[in-house]
A and B are shown apart, each in its own frame.
Chain A
Amino acid sequence: MYQYTAAELSSMLKKKECSAVEVTESVLGRIHAVDDKVGAFITVTEELALQKAKQVDEKRVAGEALHDLAGIPIAVKDNICTKGVGTTCASKMLENFVPPYSATVIEKLERCDYVPVGKVNMDEFAMGSSTETSYFKKTRNPNDLDRVPGGSSGGSAACVSAGEVPLSLGSDTGGSIRLPASYCGVVGLKPTYSSVSRYGLVAFASSLDQIGPLGRSVADVAMLYSAICGRDNHDATSAVREYPDFAASLQADLKGKVIGLPKEYFGHGVSDKVKDAIMKMAHDLEQQGAVLKEVTLPSTDYALNAYYIISSAEASSNLARFDGVKYGFRAKDYNGLVDLYEKTRSEGFGDEVKRRIMLGTFVLSSGYYDAYYKRAKLLQQKITAEFHNAFEACDVLLTPTAPDTAFKIGENIGDPLKMYATDICTVTVNIAGLPALSVPCGYDGALPIGCQLIGAKFSEQNLLNTAFAYEQSVGGFNRIPQIR
C-alpha cells in the first residue's frame, strides 16, 4: 500500500477500502524493510503513528468530517519542532532536545489528523547540500545508494522517493527542498517567503527559511501545501492573505502561458544532460500551448555570493543560543563560563556549521558590515527587481534545479566551494522570496534530473498547474526505485 500517492490513499480511506492503521502499518513495514539502507529517519515514532491512525479510524467510523490528510503518514524534517518528540537538527548539539512546543505547521497537521511517522535526517542545522553533515548518519539516494540524496532536506526527499512515506515536510533556505527533490526524483515546493509560518522551525537564516512539502505527485504537494500555509500570529513575517485549496484548483491548461527561460541558468557548469532534459520539458509544455521566451536575470552570477553572506550572517546570530546553558549539549569539563561556551560549541557543532558561523561573524564584524552584509542586502533588492521585471513578461520561469545529477557520497565533502556551487540555481529564489517547484523531468541513467519552476510571489497555483500539466503528459512522477 506504501506505493500509493497521498491522494490515492486519501480516496481509499474515504471509501473505506482501507484503514489508516493499515496504511500506517504498510509504511512502517516499508521503513523497517529499507531504511537501514536509505537512512532517512532519525526517529521513527511507531507507537505514536499507530495510535493516531487508530484515532483517525475511530473518527471515521463515528462519521466525523475528516480532512483529506486524515490518516496520511507524513515524515517531518528534524529541524521542525514536535512537542514531546526529539528535534535534533541532525546535530550533537540537540541530540537529546525534546521541545515542549510544536511548530505551527505541526499544529496545523495535527488538526488535519495526519499520522506522524517520524523525524527525518538533514544536514546539520540545514547547512549543506548532501545531508552528509548530519551528526547521526548518512542518508543515501534511493536511486543509487552510493550517491547523496541532496540536502539539506535529504531525509525528506529520500523517504518519499523510497516509498517510506507518501509525503514529507522539508525546509528550504537556499535550495534545501528543491535540490534533494531533484536528486531523488520527487516533487518539492519551496513556497513564497511568508506564506508558511516559520514558528517552530529551528532557524538557519530567518529571512530565507521556508517550510515546504515534498511528495511523489503534484497533487500531493498541493494538498500538503494547502494544509500548512496561512497567516500565523506567532510569526511576524507571515503574510496576511487568503489561500485557495491548491489541490482542488489544479488545472492542466497551459494555453497562452508564457514560460521564460533565463539564459544565465543554462551557462557553463550545467551539464548537457541536464540542459537537454530541461529543454525537452520546455518543448513538451510548448506543445501543450505554452509560449517559450528567453529572458535575462543579469545579477544571477552574484546571487550565490549574496546568499552565503546573508545566510551565514543570520546563522551566526541564530545559532549563538546553543551555548550549553538552557538546553542541548553541554561539554563535560570546563573552567569558567567562557570555557563552557567554547568547549560546548566546539564539541557540539560540526565543521560546516562552524564554518558558516565564523563566516557570518566575519561579515558582520566591525569594519566589514558595509562591504559584505550591506552590499549583499542591496544586491538582494536588485535581484528581486530583476525577477519582478521578468514576471511582467512571463508567467513561469523554467530552469534546472541543479547543475548536475546526484554526486557520490564523499565526493564534495572536502571542498566547501564545490559543495556551495550545487546551490547556484536555487539560491536566487530564496533571495527574492519567490515560490519554486522542482519536478522530475528525466533521468541520466538511474539518476533523476529536476526542473525548477519559478513564479512571482504567491503564484503557487500557477506553478502547480504548470507542473500538473507536465505530470499528466508524462504519465505521472510516482516511481519508487528498487532499493539495492
Chain B
Amino acid sequence: MEYEIVVGLEVHAELNTKSKIYCECHNAFGLEVNTQCCPICMGMPGTLPTLNEQVVEKAIKMGHALHCDINRICKQDRKNYFYPDLPKAYQISQFDVPLCEHGYVEVMVEGKVKKFGVTRIHIEEDAGKLLHGGESFEGSLVDFNRCGVPLIEIVSEPDFRSSADAKAYLEALRSILLYLDISDGKMQEGSIRCDVNVSVRPKGSDTFGTRVEMKNVNTFSGAVRAIDYEAARQIEVLENGGTIEQETRRWDDAKGVNILLRSKEDAHDYRYFPEPDLPTIVVPQEKVDELKASITELPNLKVIRYVKEWGISQTDAETIIDNMEKSEWLEAMMKTGNCTAKAAANWILGDISKYMNETGKSLVETKLTPEKMAELISYIEKGKISNAAAKQVFEILLTEDRNPMDVVKEKGLIQISDEGALEKVVADVLANNEKSVADYKNGKTNALGYLTGQCMKATKGQGNPQKLKELLLAALEA
C-alpha cells in the first residue's frame, strides 16, 4: 500500500529580549552556571512573576507575520509537573486563550508555493538545564540560568506531507524570527527547538492516523531525519499488521533512531489552571495595529516574489534573503531599473558576498551604493565595459566615492564595440599571424584563443571580446 505522511510541528523559539520573561535577570546564553538567576526564576517561596512587555510585543509581531488573529485580551496559565529543571514545579504558559491563533504561512517548497496552517502562538518560560556529571559522580547537576528565558511556542496544523515541507516551514519560521528581530535563531544554542508529531495514513484517506510525538529534535536536518525515520517505522508496523500507539518518543540524532519515552497511559496530567499571580493581559488595539504596521515584507514572501517576478532561482533567492543587507541591495538595485535581476543577483552572490566574507564588513561601511552598482552592471549589459573591467571599477568604488563612469573613463576601460574598427584589428592580426591561422585551419582550434588574445592586445584590452571572437571566426571560416 502507498502511504502519506502527516506531520505537525511545535516550535519553541527563545526571544532575544534583554531580561527574562518574569524577572529582571539577564537573558543571556553561555555564562557560568547559576549566575544569571534570582529568587524569582529559581522559584523561591514568596516570589512573584512580572511579565516583560517586550515578550508580549514580540509574540504579537510573530502573530502578525503568520497572519494570526491576535487575542489582545488573554491570560496565562500554570502547567504543573515535577522536574528538577522546573523550580516552581509549574511552567507559566498559556492554555485555552493563546496570544495569537488561526494563522498561516506561505512557503516555497521545491519551487512550489505551499500554505501551512498555524494553530496558535503562545508565550511561556523556558526551563533550566540538567548537566550530567562524569563517571566519578552519580547525580545530575541543575543550572537555573535558562529558567525564565522567554519562549514563544508556535504550533502548526498537521499540514506537512513530507519532511521537505517541514524543513521548508522551519527555515521560513527561522528567517521570519531573524527578520523581525524576535529571536537570535541560533540553533546551536538551542534558541529554536521543535517537537514533531508524525502519523501516516493510506494515500487518499481523509482521516488521520494515530500520531506519535517526538521530542529532542534540535536541528532542521535532524527534523528531516526524525520524520523520515518515524514515518518508515510506522509504515513498517502497519505493514506487519500492527497498530500505532499514541505515545511520546525521544529522537537520538547521533544514532538516527527514536526510543519510547512514555506511552499514552503515562501521559502527564498537567492540571492547567489560570495563573493567579498574573492579571489579565490587555493589549490596547492601537498597540496591536502599530505592531502590525511595523512589519515589512517578510523573507518567505520575498522568496516567492524573487522567484516569480524576477526569475531568480529559489536557492539564490533564499541565500540573498538570508542576509538583510544583501536583500536590501537587490531591492534597491532593481528599483533603479538599470539592471536585470539575474545580473544583480550574480554580483551579490559573487563579488559582493566575497568582499563581505573576506573583510567581515557590511556594505554600509563602503563607499559603494546600490545605485552605483546597478549603473556599473548596466555598462556590462550594454556592452560598454567588460566583466573584467567592471570588477576593477567595483574595487575602486568600494573605497572611493566616485561616479562609476568617471572611473571607467579615467581607467580607459570603455570597450570598443564598433564593428568597423574591430574588423580592421582582426584583419591586421590575421595578417601578422599566418602560422596560427594555418594551425586553426589544420584543426588546432585552440589557436583561436591565441588570436583573440592578440586582438585584445592590439586594442589594449578594450575590444569587446565577444565581438572580436565573432569577427575572427567569421574571417577564419570564410
Chain A positions near chain B (C-beta within 8 angstroms) = 79-81, 87, 89, 94, 97, 99-101, 103, 198-203, 205-207, 233-237, 313-314, 316-317, 320-323, 325-327, 337, 341, 361, 364-366, 369, 373
Closest to A327 in B: B44
A81–B277 contact, CB under 8 A? no
B51 at the A interface (CB under 8 A) = yes
Distance in angstroms from B268 CB to nearest chain A CB is 10
Q: Is B269 an interface residue (CB 8 A)?
A: yes
Looking at B44, B142, B278, B279, the one whose CB has the most chain A CB atoms below 10 A away is: B44
| B residues in contact with A361, CB < 8 Å | 271
Does A235 lie within 8 Å of B48, measured CB to CB?
A: yes
Q: Does B383 contact A (CB under 8 A)?
A: no
Min CB distance, A241 to chain B, in Å? 15
**B307 CB, min distance to chain A CBs, angstroms:** 47
Report the Cα distance A99→B42, complex, angstroms: 12
Q: Are A236 and B279 in contact (CB under 8 A)?
A: yes
> Does B465 touch A at the CB level, under 8 Å?
no
- 1/0 per residue B45-81: CB within 8 Å of A? 1111111000000000000000000000000001010
A234 to chain B, nearest CB (A): 6
* Cα distance, A313 to B274, chains bound together (Å): 11
A317 touches B271 (CB 8 A): yes
Flag whether B90 is at the interface (Cβ < 8 A): yes
Q: How far is A235 from B269 in the complex, measured between Cα atoms in Å?
A: 29
Q: Give A365 to B80 CA distance when docked, in angstroms.
A: 10
Q: How far is the CA of A364 from the CA of B47 in the complex (A)?
A: 23
On whether the beta carbons of B50 and A323 are closer than 8 Å, the reply is no
Which residues of chain B are within 8 angstroms of A323 by Cβ–Cβ distance? 82, 89
Q: Which of A103, A317, A321, A325 is B142 in contact with, Cβ under 8 Å?
A: A325
Give Cα A148 to B164, complex, Å.
Answer: 70
- Specify which chain B residues have a CB less than 8 angstroms from the CB of A200 in the assembled complex: 46-47
Chain B residue with minimal CB distance to A338?
Answer: B82
Residues of chain B with a CB closer than 8 A to A373's CB: 273
Q: Does A233 contact B142, Cβ atoms closer than 8 Å?
A: no
Q: Are B271 and A321 in contact (CB under 8 A)?
A: no
Interface pairs (19), CB distance under 8 Å: A81-B45, A99-B39, A100-B39, A200-B46, A202-B45, A233-B50, A234-B50, A237-B276, A314-B273, A317-B78, A317-B90, A317-B273, A320-B82, A320-B88, A320-B89, A326-B43, A364-B80, A364-B271, A369-B272
Q: Look across to chain B and name the residue whose beta carbon is closest to the beta carbon of A325.
A: B84
Question: Which one of B42, B46, B50, B82 lies within 8 Å of A81 (CB-CB)?
Answer: B46
Tell me, rounded to whole Å, the shortest Cβ–Cβ distance linking B357 to chain A: 47
Given A237-B277, A317-B273, A364-B271: A87 and B80 interface contact (C-beta under 8 Å): no
Q: How far is the CB of B359 from chain A (nearest CB, A)?
A: 47
- B273's partner among A79, A100, A364 (CB-CB below 8 A) is A364
Residues of B within 8 A of A326 (CB): 42-44, 87
- Cβ–Cβ < 8 Å partners of B90 in chain A: 317, 320
Cα-based distance from A341 to B277 in the complex (angstroms): 25
A89 & B45 in contact (Cβ 8 Å cutoff) = yes
Q: Which residue of B lies closest to A209 (CB)?
A: B276
In the complex, chain A residues whose CB is within 8 Å of the CB of B88: 320-321
Contact mask B342-383 → A, CB, 8 Å, 1/0? 000000000000000000000000000000000000000000
Contacts of B269 in A (CB 8 A): 365-366
Specify which chain B residues have a CB less than 8 angstroms from the CB of A94 in the assembled complex: 45
With a CB–CB cut-off of 8 A, which chain B residues contact A205? 276
Which residues in B have some Cβ–Cβ distance to A below 8 Å? 39, 42-51, 78, 80, 82, 84, 87-90, 142, 269, 271-273, 276-279
| A316→B82 CA distance, assembly (Å) | 12
Which 8 pairs, one residue from A and one from B, show the smallest C-beta to C-beta distance? A320-B89, A364-B271, A207-B276, A206-B276, A202-B45, A200-B46, A81-B46, A202-B46
B45 cross-chain contacts in A, Cβ below 8 A = 81, 87, 89, 94, 97, 99, 202-203, 321-322, 327
A residues within 8 A CB of B48? 198-199, 234-237
**Bound: A322/B89 CA distance, A:** 9
- Give the distance in Å from the alpha carbon of A286 to the alpha carbon of B49 in the complex: 46
Q: Which residues of A contact B50 (CB under 8 A)?
A: 233-236
- Nearest residue in B to A100 (C-beta to C-beta)? B39
For the complex, give the distance between the alpha carbons of A348 and B217 in Å.
38
Which residues of A have CB within 8 Å of B278? 236-237
Query: CA of A199 to CA of B47 in the docked complex: distance in angstroms?
Result: 6
Per the bound structure, the CA–CA distance linking A89 and B45 in Å amounts to: 10
Q: When the two chains form their complex, are residues A99 and B51 in contact, meaning their CB atoms are under 8 A apart? A: no
- Within the complex, the shortest CB–CB distance from A464 to chain B, in Å, comes to 27
**Measured CA separation A87–B43 after assembly (Å):** 15
Within the complex, the shortest CB–CB distance from B74 to chain A, in Å, comes to 15
Contacts A202-B45, A326-B43 known; 14 new A-B pairs at CB < 8 A: A79-B46, A99-B39, A99-B45, A99-B46, A103-B46, A202-B46, A203-B277, A234-B50, A236-B50, A313-B273, A317-B273, A325-B87, A369-B273, A373-B273
Q: Roughly how many angstroms separate A101 CA and B38 CA in the complex, as a whole number?
A: 10
A residues less than 8 Å from B80 (CB atoms)? 316-317, 320, 364
Contact A201 B46 (CB under 8 A): yes
CB distance from B228 to the nearest CB of A (A): 34
Most buried by A among B42, B43, B78, B271: B271
- Shortest B326–chain A CB gap in Å is 43
Q: Which residue of A lies closest to B140 (CB)?
A: A337
Complexed CA–CA distance, A199 and B269 (Å)? 29
Q: Which residue of chain B has the shortest Cβ distance to A81 in the bound complex? A: B46
For residue B43, which residues in chain A have a CB less than 8 angstroms away from its CB? Answer: 321, 326
Cα distance, A80 to B45, chains bound together (Å): 9
Q: Are A101 and B82 in contact (CB under 8 A)?
A: no
Chain B residue numbers with a CB within 8 Å of A198 are 46, 48
Q: A236 to B273, alpha carbons, bound, how many Å?
A: 18
Give min CB distance, B266 to chain A, whole Å: 12
Looking at the assembled complex, report how far the CB atom of B79 sits from the nearest CB atom of chain A, in whole angstroms.
10
Chain A residues, Cβ within 8 Å of B82: 320, 323, 341
Q: Which residue of A lies closest to B275 (CB)?
A: A206
Closest B residue to A238 using CB positions? B48
- A261 to B271 CA separation, bound complex (whole angstroms): 40
| B87-A321 in contact (CB<8A) | yes
| B84 A314 Cβ-Cβ under 8 A | no
Given that A325-B84, A341-B82, A366-B269 are known contacts, is A101 also in contact with B44, CB under 8 Å in the complex?
yes
Q: A316 vs B276: C-alpha distance in the bound complex, in angstroms?
A: 13
Please report the C-alpha to C-alpha distance between residue A79 and residue B46 in the assembled complex, in whole angstroms. Answer: 8
- Of B42, B80, B84, B277, chain A has the most CB atoms within 10 Å of the CB of B277
With A and B bound together, what is the CA distance between A234 and B42 in angstroms?
A: 15
Contact B87 A236 (CB under 8 A): no
Q: How far is the CB of A176 from chain B (nearest CB, A)?
A: 16
Chain A nearest CB from B39 CB (Å) reads 5
CB of A314 within 8 A of CB of B276, answer yes
Residues on the A chain within 8 Å of B277, using CB: 203, 206, 236-237
- Measured CB to CB, the nearest residue on chain B to A361 is B271
* Bound-complex Cα distance A301 to B426 (A): 111
CB atoms of B47 and A365 under 8 A apart: no
Report Cα–Cα, A235/B87, bound state, in Å. 19
B476 → A minimal CB distance (Å): 85
CB distance B46 to A236 under 8 Å? no
In Å, the complex CA distance between A316 and B39 comes to 20
The smallest C-beta distance from A318 to any residue of chain B, in angstroms, reads 9
From A102, which residue of chain B is reached at the shortest CB distance? B46
Residue ID in chain A nearest B45 by CB atoms: A202
Smallest Cβ distance from A365 to chain B, in angstroms? 6
Residues of the A chain whose Cβ atoms lie less than 8 Å from the Cβ of B47: 101, 199-200
